[in-house]
Every structure is written in structure tokens, then in C-alpha cells.
Amino acid sequence: MNYQDTLEYLYNSAPMFQQVGGAAYKEGLENTLTLDAHFGHPHRRYRTIHVAGTNGKGSCSHTLAAVLQEAGYKVGLYTSPHLVDFRERIRVNGVPVPEEYVIRFVEEERSFFEPLHPSFFELTTAMAFRYFADERVDVAVVEVGLGGRLDCTNIIRPDLCVITNISFDHVQFLGNTLEKIAREKAGIIKRGVPVVIGETTPETRPVFEAKAKETDAPIYFAEDCDREDYPDIEFELKGLYQKKNKQTLLTALPLLKEAGYHIDEQAVRSGFAHVTSLTGLMGRWQKLQNSPTLVCDTGHNVGGIRYIVEQLKEEKYRRLHIVMGMVNDKDVRGVLGLMPKKAVYYFTQASVKRAMPAGRLKELGLEAGLRGECYADVPAAVRAAQKESLPEDFIFVGGSSFIVADLLANRDALNLH
């Protein structure tokens, strides 16, 4: 098998949540524990940091990895979903897992895992943990896939847990109230392991406090800690929501030092200032073009979109153009209700099965007072927006991680760099 054949095999034999949604979701840790035992519990061979939350967990995971890299550690980073290439999910010091490793892992281990019928994420998590052990990393920053309590990553015993925030997402699996969702995310809190909570609401704070008390875990609320350890620190990641992430990270770093990590001020400042080049992070208020300005962002639920809309209000432009698509299992009406009414919309759909058809999105957009046309795919929608824009205009591309993924996959064809 070559790399492409291997990916097709993975996607087809173990359905990917990214593509098909709920049909790929497997509750429980039975397969994960079986795979973990088969590979000799690889995650026990290095230190770990566990990051959960509805929004911001990817940005926080990448920034922690960047800081640790700059502090001289060999750092594994496991995140999801990927935007352009599967290998983005599994990195060591910012470098994606080699294609050859992915091929070899599947070829050598398929006779063991096929009878288990693991999910795509179960298999990918096992691969990541094994790769980090093979590479002898010092520490791995591990992002939760979905929820927390029953997520495949929840077999690690980390030095620190981080829960960025709680808002409505994946309610069909995690619950339809903030308390229920918080309870699932709080499932990563381990006995005696410090936990940092980025943001709370009146509904979620008591859930975290109760779980921390039950597990005797020291708990720190970033919103209560007005930390100024690094005055005027420059954070490469832009967007209003990154201010919350910054506070969460600055609350977490002293706890890592207490746990024995050697992290000096230069490592922190350099990590914050160079997240994307150090880790390969994409799609967070990422500017891809000037004149007109074109920015993409992977925010895709009410909690994430609310910050994006606030950010758009702060930008200076003659006219706002929004290229937008969503997937069927999100709160589409809730998101559309937040979007700016005065923008010109280019409704489109991503190249995944979960994508809401552009025509249906346009109908719901009209109900919400949004005006625009439909386009068959992301490149067509972006080209139309570019054609309609003057140099002083602003084009925003988003609504779904998959819209951003299709944009980035077509960067060259769209002359975006």
C-alpha cells in the first residue's frame, strides 16, 4: 500500500467522524484499552498534558507545544481534526508523522486491530501514542477528541489538565445542557492532578469544583487569575478569543514549572510569538491575502462564532464579504442568527458528507436576514468573493473547519499565500 491507499483504508474500514459524523462515534474505552495493552502502554513512557474544551483547545495545545519546544523539550502533539493532511494530527517538534510510519503501522498491525472494528479515532490515538514512544519524546500535549470522560485520550495520567471552556457542541453525544457537557469534559480531571479551567458560566463552575473536590485535584480558574508574568507578551494568534486562551495558558505555565518543567521567560515569549512556524497550526484567524484582506477561521459553533463576529466588528473595511458553509449536525440557525446582516454572503458547502447543501444554508440564511448567492464548492465561492471585492474590502471564510480545510487545500489555485 502507498500512503493514499493507506488513508483510504483507514477512512473506509474505520469511519472518520470528520466525514460522516455520528455514525463514526464509539462510546466507551474498551477498544482503546485493548489497543493500549497490545502496544505496551506507550503513553507511560513520556510525560503528558491533557487539553479539553469546546473552543480554544487546539490553539492552547499548539501554544503549549511551542513553548515546550522553545524550552528545549522534544514534544509530541496530538490534535484533531486535520485540515489538509492526516499527518497534521500527529507531530513531533512540529514535524508531521512520516507517511512511511503511517503505512507501516497499518500494514503491520491490521491483523490485530481488524477484528476489534475500532473507530478511526481509536486507531489514530493508538498510532499517535505509539509514535511518540518510538520517537522518545519528553512530553506529549494531547488534545481531547470529543468530550472527555469517554474520549480515547482519557487513558493518560497527565502532569496537568486544561479545560478551556464549555459551550454547546456535539449535544447529541455530550448532553443538551451546559452542566451535562461540563460533566463530560470534567471527566479528564484525575486524582491529585492540577486542572486549569479557562472560562466558566454559572452552570459549569459548580460541576468543575465538585469534580475537583471528589478527585482531590487542585483547581485553578484562569478568569480569577490576573496574571502579568510576561508584560507585553506578543501572541502570534490573533482574534479576540485568543485573549481568553492567553490567560488560560499563563495560568497553566506556573503549574508546569511546579511539576518540574524548566521553562524560562525566553521560551514562553518565543513560543507565543511563533506558534504557527513551530507547530504547523493553521486556520486560527489566519490572514491569507491583503488588498482585499482575506482571513479564515475554524470557529464553527455558537461559542466560537460569537467571538469571530465581535472581531469582524473591529476590522476596518469598505464592505464585508463572507464565504460560509456549515455541517448538518451543528446549531446552524443559532450561528446564522449571530452573523452580521450587512455582509454579502457566498453560501457554499465543504467536500464532506456532513456538509449542509449550499441551497439549504441559503434558505436558512434568508430566514436570518442574510443575503447572498449559492456556490457549488469553496473555491468557486472564494473566486466569486475575490471578483466582487475592491482592495479595501474584507473577505472572511469560515462557518466550519471543513470550509477552511477546502480553502487551504486550494491555496495555490486561488493564489493565496
CATH at 266: 3.40.1190.10
Q: Do 22 and 122 share a domain, yes or no?
A: yes
Residue where a domain stops, chosen among 279, 296, 318: 279
Q: 337 lies in which domain range? A: 286-409
Domain shared by 374 and 244, yes or no: no
- pTM passes above 0.75: yes
The confidence score (pLDDT) of residue 90 equals 98
**Domain count of the chain?**
2
Kind of pairing between the strands at 95-96 and 139-143: unpaired
Q: 261 and 331: one domain?
A: no
The reply to whether 414 falls in a domain is no
C-alpha–C-alpha distance, residues 316 and 154, integer Å: 43
Half-sphere exposure (Cβ direction) of 171: Cα atoms closer than 13 Å: 12
Order of all β-strands in the sheet with 47-52: 95-96, 90-92, 75-78, 139-143, 47-52, 160-163, 195-197, 219-221
Shared domain check, 298 and 270: no
Whether residue 251 sits in one domain with residue 268: yes
Residue 82: strand, helix, or coil: coil
Q: Are 180 and 45 found together in one domain?
A: yes
Same domain? For 253 and 369 the reply is: no
Here the cell at position 165 is 471552556
Residues 163 and 265 in one domain: yes
Quick check: is 310 in a domain? Answer: yes
**Does residue 380 share a domain with residue 241?**
no
| Predicted local confidence at residue 172, as pLDDT | 52
Residues 319, 263 within the same domain = no
CATH number at residue 397: 3.90.190.20
Sign of CA dihedral 199, 177, 332, 148: positive
Residue 415 lies inside a defined structural domain of this protein:
no
Are residue 275 and residue 290 in the same domain, yes or no? no
- pLDDT, mean over the chain: 92
- Plot region of 136 (φ>0 → left; ψ -120 to 50 → alpha; else → beta): left
Q: Which residues pair with 195 in a beta bridge?
A: 161, 219
The parts of the chain modelled with pLDDT lower than 50 are 17-24, 170-171, 173
Domain assignment present for 417: no
Do 353 and 256 belong to one domain?
no
